[in-house]
Amino acid sequence: MAVVPRLVSRPSRLVSLPARRETAVAVALHLAVAAVGFAVLLLVSHHLGHGVRWVLYRWDSGHYLRVAERGYPSAIVYRPDGTPAYSRLAFFPLVPALIRAAHLLTALPYAYAGVLVSWCAAAAAAAGVFALVRAAGGGAGAGYACVALWSCSPYAFALWVPYSEAVFSALLVWALVALLAARWLTAGVLCALAGAVRPTATVLIATLALAAGWAVLRGRDGWRPWVALALAPLGLVAGWLFLGSRVGRWDGWFEAERAWGQSFDFGAGTVGFLWEVFLHRDGQAEDVRHVAVVAVVLLTAVGALALALDRSVPWQLAALVAAAWLLMMGTPGSQFSKPRFMLPFLPVLLLLVARPLARVPLGVRCCLYGGGAVVSGWYAAGLLVLFDGSP
């Protein structure tokens, strides 16, 4: 238990002048890697005959942008078999609100306002990733490595376009930094905001509840953990109620979500999908997306176990990844979206490789990050342009 006091005292160093300069370097590193990947995505898309606006309205981006432009639907449409049709009511309100605010403040078209929101949020998230690595006991080199690897990961495209991952990642990592520092009120507020972005904030809420409950049991920090517990779920509940109010029923979001297949099934759908892949039915194992899903499911399970066994990693981070894996396994939905689902949680898993990578020669690391950025952009073009189904 000696780790806790060390972690609580450490964040005061994160706001000193040298740390600010280091954080600025980490943000610049993220922006450089992201710029290369985004440029590759746009160049490949242009070569395939698709303009920038077409790419920016692809899949989830289009839903967020149209909510920002037109608002939510006022009714749930049903198919002839009685099941709900796909609806933008399933998308939480904070990201569309930010896009609309950016549009009104800058007069940019909605698509470019959405890009601005994502890039600003991703930069804040990169700063948070660097701070999280430092709070977890890593050095500046490990922080840079973690930021760069996250920025050039295969599904990093969701940080470049008007998806919700960038905003959610920023709130998630800074909430974790606050949690490790026992800044309960800050953690509770950030957790509440994350709940207004994505329902997967339940993972963060559960982690905060565990940490706050442990603090209460040990008689630490007085009333603050109790307030954090009360604050944490407010954004999620408010999002559900707000979306339900659009169609005049409290469970409107849950009803709309049925169309996307995200009801919790205790892993039956995911296990069935993995079984089909392992049996090589319909040539599924030849599709790179199927390989990516299998790799993410297995590597996340192994990573969660490794984090739990690594005594230098705060237990809250291991609990977060374990909860994320359980939620990813338990909700079938679009199987191809599972790697993107793990993108905000990926920096925690990267703690396992960031420290050894920091000792690799600088030239090798630069080649790794640059090559990774190119591959990330190329892979993003395949996901957004060539493949059918939302990535």
What is the pLDDT at residue 109? 97
pLDDT at 2: 39
* Structure confidence at residue 86 (pLDDT): 87
DSSP 249: -
Least confident segment among 20-29, 329-338, 347-356, 379-388 = 329-338
Q: How far apart are CA 73 and CA 156, in angstroms?
A: 30
- 294 or 35, higher pLDDT: 35
Higher pLDDT, 153 or 282: 153
- What are the tokens at 279? 């049996």
307 Cα distance to chain centroid? 19
When pLDDT is averaged across residues 102-109 and rounded to a whole number, the result is 97
User: Rounded to an integer, what distance in angstroms lies between the CA atom of residue 211 and that of residue 184?
Assistant: 10
Highest mean pLDDT among 29-38, 85-94, 131-140, 359-368: 29-38
The pLDDT confidence band at residue 337, using thresholds 50, 70 and 90, is: confident
Whether the pLDDT of residue 282 is over 80: the answer is: no
Please check whether residue 228 is in contact with residue 188, taking contact to mean a CB–CB distance below 8 angstroms. yes
Question: Are the beta carbons of 162 and 117 closer than 8 angstroms?
Answer: yes
Residue 81 has a pLDDT of: 84
Average pLDDT of the chain? 89
How far from chain centre, in Å, is Cα 294? 19
pLDDT at site 10: 41
pLDDT of residue 91: 94
pLDDT of amino acid 283: 53
Q: How far apart are CA 186 and CA 175, in angstroms?
A: 7
pLDDT of residue 13: 39
pLDDT value for 118: 98
Lookup result for tokens 């998806």: 163
The rounded distance, in Å, linking the Cα atoms of 318 and 338 is 19
pLDDT class of 302 with cuts at 50, 70, 90:
very high
Looking at residue 155, the DSSP 8-state letter turns out to be: T
- Does this model's pTM top 0.95? My answer is no
Query: What pLDDT score was predicted for residue 296?
Result: 87
Listed range (182-186, 226-230, 245-249, 333-337) with the worst mean pLDDT: 333-337
* 152 and 196 Cβ atoms separated by less than 8 Å: no
Measured CA distances, 389 to 263, 274, 336 (Å): 19, 18, 8
Predicted pLDDT at 307 = 93
Say whether 78 sits in a helix, a strand or coil: strand
Contact 28, 148 (CB under 8 A): no
- Burial of 285 per CB tally in 10 Å (0-12, 13-18, 19+): middle
Residue 225 confidence (pLDDT): 96
Residue 388 has a pLDDT of 67
pLDDT at 188: 97
CA torsion 349-355-356-362 (nearest 10°) is 120
In the prediction, which pLDDT does 12 show?
A: 40
Contact of 297 with 321, CB cutoff 8 Å:
no
Question: Which range has highest mean pLDDT (46-50, 288-292, 336-340, 387-391)?
Answer: 46-50
Q: How confident is the model over 38-43, as a mean pLDDT?
A: 96
Q: Is the pLDDT of residue 68 over 80?
A: yes
